[in-house]
Amino acid sequence: DQQVKQNSPSLSVQEGRISILNCDYTNSMFDYFLWYKKYPAEGPTFLISISSIKDKNEDGRFTVFLNKSAKHLSLHIVPSQPGDSAVYFCAAGGKGGGNKLTFGTGTQLKVEL
């Protein structure tokens, strides 16, 4: 049972435009959410997080929005740059298991010139 879902396996965006990556979750016990970025042959790198008590968190070009009623979050990247091309994983954490993370299956973002 996939508790964190990223339904778009890939996304292509032009340089300078906005990239929007989406994530849905089913477990209402998750109380914080994160986005990780992954390049080939490297481990995931933390990008941005949001607590369940907030609906928006912004860090430079990256903004994460959380809609708890819809159990949906999104990552906005503005403006998109070629170096943003990577796989993006949505992850969720709760209070159990040392706050282990449950990951989605990832979205491959390609930013084209």
Residue 73 near another protein by CB under 8 A? no
Segment interacting with another protein (CB under 8 A) among 10-18, 36-44, 63-71, 75-83: 36-44
Comparison of 14 and 28: residue with beta carbon closer to another protein: 28
**Contact between 97 and another protein per CB under 8 A:** yes
DSSP the chain: --SEE---SEEEEETTS-EEEEEEE--TT--EEEEEEE-TTS--EEEEEEETT-SEEEETTEEEEEETTTTEEEEEESS--GGG-EEEEEEEE-SSTTT-EEE---EEEEEE-
**Residue 40 within binding range of another protein, rule CB under 8 A:** no
Task: Tell me which residues touch another protein (CB under 8 A).
Answer: 4, 6, 31-32, 34, 36, 41-46, 49, 51, 89, 91, 93, 96-106
